[in-house]
Structure 1
Amino acid sequence: MRILSTPKLQLRTKFTLRRKNAQNEDLPADLKTPARTRFAPSPTGFLHLGSLRTALYNYLLARATGGQFLLRLEDTDQKRLVPGAEDNIYDTLNWLGIKVDEGPTVGGPYGPYRQSDRSEIYTRYIDELLDKGLAYRCFCSKSRLDGLRDSARLLRPPTTVSYDRHCLRVYTREESDAKAARGEEFTVRFKSPDKYPEFDDLLHGYINWQPQVNPFDRRYEDPVLLKSDGLPTYHFANVVDDHLMEITHVIRGEEWLASTPKHIALYDAFEWKKPKFVHIPLLTTIDNRKLSKRTGDIDIMSLKNQGYLPEALINFAVLFGWAPKRVQGEKLHEIYDMDFLENHFNLEGLTVGNAKVDFQKLNYFNKHYLQRRLEDPDYLDKFSADIYGKLNQNRRITQDYVKKVLLKTGSSLTTLNSVFSESFRFYFERPTYTKEGLENVLEPEKVGIVELLAEQSDYTDLEAIIPKILAVYPFIKKKDIYQTIRYAISAGQPGTKLPDMIELLGNEEVVARLNSLKEIL
């Protein structure tokens, strides 16, 4: 985002920002009236981390103020719709515990909540703007518009807007009506004001954002409101719907800041009260690149399939630009469950800078919440039954054994799927020894240790075995003996304490694995 001073002539895009203060001290700690917020995704892809953060902030503001949270589908770009994307939105929000008060599946007094079902509403308001002279039909061909765009780039200074208002100048309203009646293809453009109004963003402060124009060859932004297929553009439908659905607060990504002046101009054209705007910071990678599908902006249900828990994802996403205000002397922590957030979320905790997404932090949260879940006997029964069902081809395994493994190793599990990873698989099947592993753990002069360990019959008292080995191999360190046993029973997997591993596997299985390693050597 570039903050530029305002010159006398509009020679460049002007974005001036007057921040209220660095700490946002005059933001209200809480709101006195209930907020009506909305999450308005486009079903052109599956719901991902950035969308989750937007949905979550809107949801939490509504809950914290005793308001309502709406779901609205912005599906007017029919060519880009992805099969299954709409169901993915419903399934994801439901799985995360984000409850919708009004929306396509639950109804409500301001429906329909799918934009493709609201065409008659948009037509009515398009006609109102046409009658007021604040919008006009544009019959220009694509080739003419492309030529205007290309010529605008060649101007000195160049301009970011390109339309010349040809159709507004050439055709009277009667001529425009006649052309439309004959079936000629057209779009409807908004007659943008000479200067966009300043607006107040509750996070960034006062913003004055003007398009870059050339004073010698004047072009106009005049955004399209109605496309040639009769469906509204995002800018128009967004404003009409937010007004009719009585949205009080619009929380969305910072990338929409440049569009907000257009939206406010539309509110002014209709003489409607504007909602309050909050533009939250961009999500970036650890090395400060914009988060995208290529750089980790993963869809939520794929994270579910990887074994992540909804409460971990909620905790992870809410901290992308927000933190609760701490009471003096209160210990710093980052664990916030949904109950806490629904009662304590407020705009005062929002931050301005880009939010860096560190997936190691997601692992930290998931590990915490998984361990908490395993303390619940009902969940432990359900989870162990699920694992047992996937392992039941191994007749040695019982559900009771699986439960014991979870109780002992739960603090080492990162995700639900970690149970099937290399780090834990040795509890359910004998490990595979590799040449590299043997070379790293078992130096040639230590091979005899394995033979001696295999001769031991009782590993229930591990400390009693160590002196027997040291008596034969006094030059060996105790840690070498422990590493050798660990390698024999788990191929060297770290994490769980060795006595716990031995207790879970049982003495007979430990001896058997030591003998298997002995045979290989």
Structure 2
Amino acid sequence: MEGSVRVRFAPSPTGLLHIGGLRTALYNYLFAKNNDGDFILRIEDTDQERYVEEAEEDIVKSLLWSGIEFDEAPGKPGKVGPYRQSERKEMYEEYAEQLIEQGNAYYAFDTPEELDQMRERLKKSGNPAPKYDAITRMSMKNSLTLPQEEVERKLEEGDEYVIRLKVPRRETIRFEDEIRGFVSFESKGLDDQVLLKSDGMPTYHLANVVDDHLMKISHVIRGEEWLSSTPKHILMYEYFGWEPPKMAHLPLIMSPSGGKLSKRKAESEGIPINTRDYIEQKFEPEALINFLAYLGWSPGDDSELHTMDELIELFSLDRVSKGGAVFDYQKLIWYNEHYLREKSANELFPRVRSIAEEHGIQPDEAYMKEIIPLMKERVSKIEDFVTMGRFFFEDPKEYEDQAMKKWKDNSVDLLQAYVDEIEKLNVKEFKAKKLKDKIKEVINEHDVGFGPLMMPLRVAVTGMGYGPDLTPTLELLGKETTIRRIKTAIKRLG
């Protein structure tokens, strides 16, 4: 690949980092690292009205939690800073003025009321989507229609204005997208985009093009929603005489019920929408990253499990799909279970301990490190070690309704027979294998299968109808606790 690869993730600090934004950052990061390039974080905070105070901090925290490290950023400057667009305001004004001098942009003095009247007028004459463009600009108040001296007077007197891009009337704008191939747009479908707003702040379009050029960005990898803005950007590159970066537009993330995964849809389908939700719900970052990598890309074989380093090794833009990718929440849970199982009890213990403490439990370290491997095959998220495993610390207060369906007429007799057997064991004999042998003896004697004894036994000891392997659980709980709980259940459930 000629030249060095430099990519940027350029979120607007208008809210928490959306899960789609995290995927965009990930693809940029994987592409940069696969090509020994640089990954830059740029904060696009030109929309002052929608600016949210803690959003930038949330973006940085979310990326670092995910294992996505930036080479240059607001807190980690390189040679092309500053990295917040609000701190680069003067640069944009210069470039906007350059376009005006070249005849590729113009001052527009229209008030909001005049713009509304123009839209109303066009709607009445049968134009369903009125816009400020090559045709309408000639009947508006701008430096193309007003006499030169009036324009100068307005500027001197400090009248409010915006600077608009002068989009040609009949031109086909073509560019090659690294994911979609050649894309073409007719310029007559584009409006004369505002480049500099009346507060002197640039719009996304101007700031984006100027920054990508000055920061030597080689590839712009962003969401599909920006595809329709790209022709305006291509025009600006042409007017400035700059080589545009290569463009790649990522497929949309779709909701399981169809359509784009909007905030509303995500909420109704129980899908957390912001990266912060995944942090707070204590997902494994490796699981989320592995899952997101496959949301629109695949390495072209049947493999599904890869560390960040492996993903970097495998990633390429030509394997990114054009069509939308469905957010399968169950698949994410599957990834999470896998990464939990990969971790040792020593690694998990500090996190499990802090969750236990939140639940008012002070776990003994040695005991907890025996519980973790036993429960690993059953948990989906790290909190389950505590919430599903609460019975390891206290007798069940009630019995789950679902589990009670397994409690049958002969349950008491079978449990009583089992208690009689295990009461004979001394503490040293109270081991999983021995406890399983005793189950076999009781069911043979009563001529029943495993279920009729195992199910009520699990309910009695844990209060639930599911959970970790039963006899090792009894061994860990110990003789006294096990017998006490069975006797309590016999008394309470009868």
Return the TM-score normalized by structure 1: 0.86
Query: Residue by residue, what CA displacement relative to the aligned partner does 1:369-428 show, whole Å, maximum 9, x if unpaired?
Result: 1111226x4x1453354355446655xx4111111101222222222212232x322222
Aligned to 2:43: 73
Look up the equivalent residue of 1:336 and give its one-letter code: H
1:403 is aligned to 2:379 = no
Indicate which of 11, 31, 38 corresponds to 2:8: 38
Indicate which of 479, 483, 486 corresponds to 1:511: 483
Q: Shift in Å at residue 238 of structure 1?
A: 0.6
1:205 is aligned to 2:148 = no
1:463 is aligned to 2:436 = yes
Q: Show the 5 A alignment for 1:127-142.
A: 127-142=97-112
Aligned to 1:176: 151
What SS does the aligned partner of 1:198 have?
strand
Separation in 1, partners of 2:417, 2:311: 58
Q: Shift in Å at residue 359 of structure 1?
A: 1.1
Separation in 2, partners of 1:455, 1:177: 102
C-alpha spacing 1:174/1:505, structure 2 compared with 1 (3 Å): farther
Retained in 2: the 8 A contact 1:48–1:297?
A: no
Q: Show the 5 A alignment for 1:5-404.
A: 31=1, 33-156=3-126, 158-159=128-129, 161-163=131-133, 164-165=136-137, 166=140, 167-194=142-169, 195-210=171-186, 221-294=191-264, 295=266, 296=271, 298-326=273-301, 332-374=302-344, 377=346, 379-387=347-355, 389-390=357-358, 393=361, 397-404=363-370
Separation in 2, partners of 1:258, 1:438: 55
Indicate which of 466, 473, 476 corresponds to 1:501: 473
Aligned to 2:390: 425
Query: Residue by residue, what CA displacement relative to the aligned partner does 1:79-137 show, whole Å, maximum 9, x if unpaired?
Result: 11112111001111111121111110101111111000011101111111111121111
Retained in 2: the 8 A contact 1:281–1:352?
A: yes
Report sequence identity in percent: 37
Higher mean displacement: 125-134 or 156-165: 156-165
Separation in 2, partners of 1:199, 1:206: 6
C-alpha spacing 1:499/1:404, structure 2 compared with 1 (3 Å): same
Separation in 2, partners of 1:277, 1:67: 16
Look up the equivalent residue of 1:198 and give its one-letter code: R
C-alpha spacing 1:359/1:158, structure 2 compared with 1 (3 Å): same
Look up the equivalent residue of 1:419 and give its one-letter code: F
Retained in 2: the 8 A contact 1:283–1:290?
A: yes
C-alpha spacing 1:472/1:98, structure 2 compared with 1 (3 Å): closer
Look up the equivalent residue of 1:450 and give its one-letter code: L
Indicate which of 465, 480, 484 corresponds to 2:452: 480
Separation in 2, partners of 1:267, 1:236: 10
C-alpha spacing 1:276/1:173, structure 2 compared with 1 (3 Å): farther
Q: Shift in Å at residue 212 of structure 1?
A: 6.0
Separation in 2, partners of 1:35, 1:81: 30
Separation in 1, partners of 2:444, 2:319: 64
Return the TM-score normalized by structure 2: 0.90
Separation in 2, partners of 1:223, 1:277: 20
Q: Shift in Å at residue 307 of structure 1?
A: 1.4
Look up the equivalent residue of 2:49 and give its one-letter code: K
Separation in 2, partners of 1:407, 1:483: 22
Separation in 1, partners of 2:404, 2:467: 21
Separation in 1, partners of 2:162, 2:14: 23
C-alpha spacing 1:173/1:234, structure 2 compared with 1 (3 Å): farther
C-alpha spacing 1:161/1:305, structure 2 compared with 1 (3 Å): same
Retained in 2: the 8 A contact 1:196–1:210?
A: yes
Retained in 2: the 8 A contact 1:388–1:402?
A: no
Q: Shift in Å at residue 447 of structure 1?
A: 3.1
Query: Residue by residue, what CA displacement relative to the aligned partner does 1:292-346 show, whole Å, maximum 9, x if unpaired?
Result: 22213611122111111111111011111111244xxxxx220111111222211
Aligned to 2:405: 440
Look up the equivalent residue of 2:39 and give its one-letter code: F
Retained in 2: the 8 A contact 1:453–1:514?
A: no
Retained in 2: the 8 A contact 1:387–1:402?
A: no
Higher mean displacement: 510-519 or 143-152: 143-152
Q: Shift in Å at residue 446 of structure 1?
A: 3.4
C-alpha spacing 1:392/1:297, structure 2 compared with 1 (3 Å): closer
Separation in 2, partners of 1:271, 1:212: 22
C-alpha spacing 1:154/1:205, structure 2 compared with 1 (3 Å): farther
Higher mean displacement: 506-515 or 446-455: 446-455
Look up the equivalent residue of 2:174 and give its one-letter code: E
Higher mean displacement: 459-468 or 83-92: 459-468
Retained in 2: the 8 A contact 1:384–1:399?
A: no
Retained in 2: the 8 A contact 1:196–1:262?
A: no
Q: RMSD value over aligned CA atoms? A: 2.2
Aligned to 2:378: 412
Separation in 1, partners of 2:373, 2:272: 33
What SS does the aligned partner of 1:118 have?
helix
C-alpha spacing 1:211/1:192, structure 2 compared with 1 (3 Å): closer
C-alpha spacing 1:69/1:471, structure 2 compared with 1 (3 Å): closer
1:450 is aligned to 2:415 = yes
Q: What is the number of residues matched between the two proteins?
A: 474
* Structure 1 residue ranges without an equivalent (≥5): 1-30, 214-219, 327-331
Greater relative CO, 1 or 2 (CA 8 Å, sep 6+): 1
Separation in 2, partners of 1:160, 1:290: 26
Query: Residue by residue, what CA displacement relative to the aligned partner does 1:453-503 show, whole Å, maximum 9, x if unpaired?
Result: 3434146322343365447744x4331101111111112342421122112
